[in-house]
Structure 1
């Protein structure tokens, strides 16, 4: 059990926690959420004892082991597998002692303990974790020094997962993972045998991998039951009730004050007026909840080009004379929303660079529309921002002919207001830098926007704002992201990058998730004699399929209702908004078409399930 009791802590006089309390029972999986800058990472440091509390107490059971990923694995000559094995210091110490121990009783204790911690299956467990995080068997034997910092972060994550601490603290663990690695981690955390406290802005991870949400707001901690969606609904209901109570109290106060003002100086009413004054004094003020600052992105709208806007014919691309991708025959139209699927190292970023014309082809042709403008965002571009310049100075350099008010308006359209506009980039948060890089990528109103992991530094509210902006955007979008929620709401086509080429993926994201969660078979199944009725496994599979189809229908129905509400706004049909109205109408038609297909799939799934149950 983790017990946080009445803690207080300040940074340079600014309080982050004031009498904050929470109790997390052993074995619970908890997501820690709150606005950027509220102190989530600081709470982790307080739990680890790296910082001293101003007041209160954080208590754990005696000898409880705390684990987390503070930095990447060192660039050493030690293999990845041995680096991960060494992370379990108890096992490593026992094995070393077993080599030199002479006392029979101690040798027996060592062997018993090694058996208790399943030390003999350690290599297999470590290899499975590394494989889940994207390392091949050959790569696991390579030295850590052969890998970049991002990949060594994965090694460090593998090490802490392998060590299985009693309290696992993970701070944005998916930032260095691809979609496949993030989905694997989701399943691993669901099965993790001890307590997990997870900071994440990945909505799907917070819905599937945790059973509780610990919310940090106004220097207090509140523990909610359920995943992120349940927390968001419950919090919205609580805020609505609080606002209603505050409104009712304000009306009551106004009524009492009106009586006092009218009658306090009249002899026959003075006593009643004094009584009401006392009632006013005793009222405990109910504060209306503060409205969260609206997060937004405002993408400039491109003009329309004739389709296709970009084609690859017989293309191949790679590095240093070695082709990473071959036989590329691809077409992009301006209304495409395409997500690239595939494990890291298969060539997703290579394809993005080819499409953005940042990597020359080794063979074949890249045919672009004559006036095609492309916006490109990748994580390395955050490092290319000038640390000593302000966002305002960046725009002044890129758009010297524009007046400063226009620059400020552009920055405000990406959530960078006056304070951030005049702050040097080096002092901005990761999310603010990402917003600036996105602004620069879309400055020319691109017809094609290529986004390679755009959400790594964005909080949940900013990710939702990005979804809305991409939905309204009238250009083509190519997405590489591990954020399942973003992909499911934005992408309507899927391309799978694997085995050196790119091909359309015919299933949906739920099917892709299911495929990734199924264990790989190393040998074909032996033929089995048919049974008179369906097996239990077959019924379970059919029920799961029916549930997936039903969930898809529900999600599309929610999207339809939101779009219908948008289309019901008379202001949308003003003459100057005709293009915007057309975008929303097209999106509504697409959702209706998808809903019709989803409902048909659901009906067929239910028919198959009912037929199997009747057999």
Structure 2
């Protein structure tokens, strides 16, 4: 059964078509990734499906009684807690609980309500909500804090948790990892893999697109094309099609050139004119196959620093914090030029604080800090975007940062990160998030740093730009310290993992898969355990009855079906025992009885198997 059907869907913005007669069919339980270049219309398509905007033409059709889940732009503020927000997302549960508290609710209705509350697992709802919030980085204390105390990014996590908790039939996700750290991203990856409903996921996270989806929809030139598998499989299929198309284009080009040469040679000769006309007609019928021409390749490159003697930077027993209060203590870390280090740990544990110390933006409170003479550090942090002057161009920003550089050198530094002649003169206020990120990378590396510190560099970068960043980091001759929520980037760009947690900085022995395993082994949050412990015997018995009821019903139905088939068989066998059935006039009825008995044999065997399985399941559950 399908949960979503798009028919002949069209939509344009300011006369620019984003969707042109697009078609899509999404079956229940299907996990699909939605990809396409920046500005292709992916987010717009999700808004059309969610009903936030209306199409110019065509239809968006949801399946019968399909519940749609779409992350709100921001969760509410005020005194309400994250746990309250998530629990309220289950509207049916909230309404049923409200009805139980209403004094005028009839007794018969109360009984129905309690039965429904058991069916929807209302008792375990607080535990499930707390578990989802914990996976997204909210510990027990944070779950009870007012929403007004959280920034926009953390409120978006609450909005995501609420949608996941509501367990919709169709889940629409638009860049869900943008506001997450690596730990929450790894948790979400595992959660979506097990999600029972259908998913339409827009993401630039290659690993998420490979692990959480089973098909990929490509939005290109207003059309939607589905291929099986995740992003890696999409790339393989697309590459193979491109090669086939290129070969076909070459064959047609050779054939076309041969025909054109004949036409040009014999067009003027009367004896060959008819043949030339024939070739001209054939030439017109040759297919117009365009070789696949990719857009301009995205390329990044970091300037190469001169070599420095080891150790380049070393910390021994360092304490780091703010206003005399330590965030990290006893920090010992050595960095050499060949190092590629990724900092692990949940947001709020001090990764960015350590990065600021390494970058020289924060002084150590105590301990020994050594930096080799001449060390240059490049520092990229997403919050630096707030320091950009919206009316100035990338050229203006780089000119201020490189006062001794000539105009060609300034443009060359911009070009290292894809800011070409047009974009380098575009006011920052008119640039996309990805273009601003490129400018920040250009500014961070302007002095050919020996140590490059990147704090969430991939926010706003598309898949091609992320791949370009990985290649540039691989070629970079200095050291790299990386903080990122993108597992694909961490896996390919880092060869040392350092865990920042509980006020300490320690090496993590193992790869990212091992780290993900340690994350999944974290026990249920204390709040979830407390909720479970509060269940009394009466509720447990009611839940047991509710759990056994469908099994008892299935066993009873199987037994009834078996008895019915057995009775029919006995009736037919009794008719065969009557000699009158063998009279010539009864030939048709005899044939019918014989055929039906043959069919009944296999039906009874199947019914017996169904009954046995149902009885065994009931016995095991009891």
**Which residue of 2 is the match for residue 424 of structure 1?**
427
Equivalent-residue separation in structure 2 for 1:232 and 1:196 (angstroms):
21
**Which residue of 2 is the match for residue 162 of structure 1?**
165
Q: If the length of structure 2 is used for normalisation, what is the TM-score? A: 0.82
Is residue 207 from structure 1 mapped to residue 218 from structure 2 by the alignment? no
1:285 shift after superposition: 1.1
| Higher alpha-carbon deviation: 175-184 or 68-77 | 68-77
**Which residue of 1 is the match for residue 472 of structure 2?**
469
Is residue 130 from structure 1 mapped to residue 129 from structure 2 by the alignment? no
Q: Secondary structure at the match of 2:28?
A: coil
* Match of residue 98, structure 2, among 84, 92, 96: 96
1:91 shift after superposition: 1.8
Equivalent-residue separation in structure 2 for 1:512 and 1:426 (angstroms):
40
Q: Secondary structure at the match of 1:156?
A: helix
Is residue 33 from structure 1 mapped to residue 64 from structure 2 by the alignment? no
Equivalent-residue separation in structure 1 for 2:4 and 2:465 (angstroms):
31
Q: What do residues 486-507 of structure 1 show as CA deviations (whole Å, max 9, x unaligned)?
A: 1111111111112211111111
**Which residue of 1 is the match for residue 484 of structure 2?**
481
1:522 shift after superposition: 9.5
Is residue 118 from structure 1 mapped to residue 107 from structure 2 by the alignment? no
**Equivalent pairs, count:** 523
1:217 shift after superposition: 1.3
Q: Using a 3 Å threshold, how does the CA distance of structure 1 residues 105 and 286 change in structure 2: closer, same or farther? A: farther
1:519 shift after superposition: 5.0
Q: What do residues 237-294 of structure 1 show as CA deviations (whole Å, max 9, x unaligned)?
A: 0111111111211111111111112223323322222222111222331121122311
Is residue 456 from structure 1 mapped to residue 459 from structure 2 by the alignment? yes
1:469 shift after superposition: 0.5
Give 1:476-555 correspondences, 5 Å limit.
Answer: 476-520=479-523
Equivalent-residue separation in structure 2 for 1:92 and 1:8 (angstroms):
38
Q: Runs of 4 or more off by more than 6 Å in structure 1?
A: none
Is residue 193 from structure 1 mapped to residue 199 from structure 2 by the alignment? no
Is residue 397 from structure 1 mapped to residue 403 from structure 2 by the alignment? no
1:97 shift after superposition: 2.2
Q: Using a 3 Å threshold, how does the CA distance of structure 1 residues 513 and 188 change in structure 2: closer, same or farther? A: same
Q: Secondary structure at the match of 2:188?
A: helix
Q: Using a 3 Å threshold, how does the CA distance of structure 1 residues 210 and 312 change in structure 2: closer, same or farther? A: same
Is residue 332 from structure 1 mapped to residue 335 from structure 2 by the alignment? yes
Equivalent-residue separation in structure 1 for 2:394 and 2:525 (angstroms):
53
RMSD: 1.7
Is residue 355 from structure 1 mapped to residue 374 from structure 2 by the alignment? no
1:214 shift after superposition: 0.8
Q: If the length of structure 1 is used for normalisation, what is the TM-score? A: 0.82
1:517 shift after superposition: 2.6
Equivalent-residue separation in structure 1 for 2:322 and 2:139 (angstroms):
21
Q: Secondary structure at the match of 1:243?
A: helix
1:417 shift after superposition: 1.3
1:320 shift after superposition: 3.0
* Match of residue 366, structure 1, among 369, 374, 378: 369
Give 1:553-592 correspondences, 5 Å limit.
Answer: none
**Which residue of 1 is the match for residue 84 of structure 2?**
82
Q: What do residues 381-424 of structure 1 show as CA deviations (whole Å, max 9, x unaligned)?
A: 11221112111111122223333333222212101112221221
- Larger Rg computed on CA atoms: 2
Structure 2: state its 5+ residue gaps. 527-622
1:471 shift after superposition: 0.7
Is residue 15 from structure 1 mapped to residue 17 from structure 2 by the alignment? yes
Q: Secondary structure at the match of 1:418?
A: coil
Q: What do residues 584-607 of structure 1 show as CA deviations (whole Å, max 9, x unaligned)?
A: xxxxxxxxxxxxxxxxxxxxxxxx
Equivalent-residue separation in structure 1 for 2:207 and 2:215 (angstroms):
14
**Which residue of 1 is the match for residue 582 of structure 2?**
none
1:12 shift after superposition: 0.9
**Which residue of 1 is the match for residue 54 of structure 2?**
52
| Higher alpha-carbon deviation: 441-450 or 505-514 | 505-514
1:514 shift after superposition: 2.2
Q: Using a 3 Å threshold, how does the CA distance of structure 1 residues 500 and 280 change in structure 2: closer, same or farther? A: same
1:158 shift after superposition: 0.7
Contact 2:381 2:455 in 1 (8 A): yes
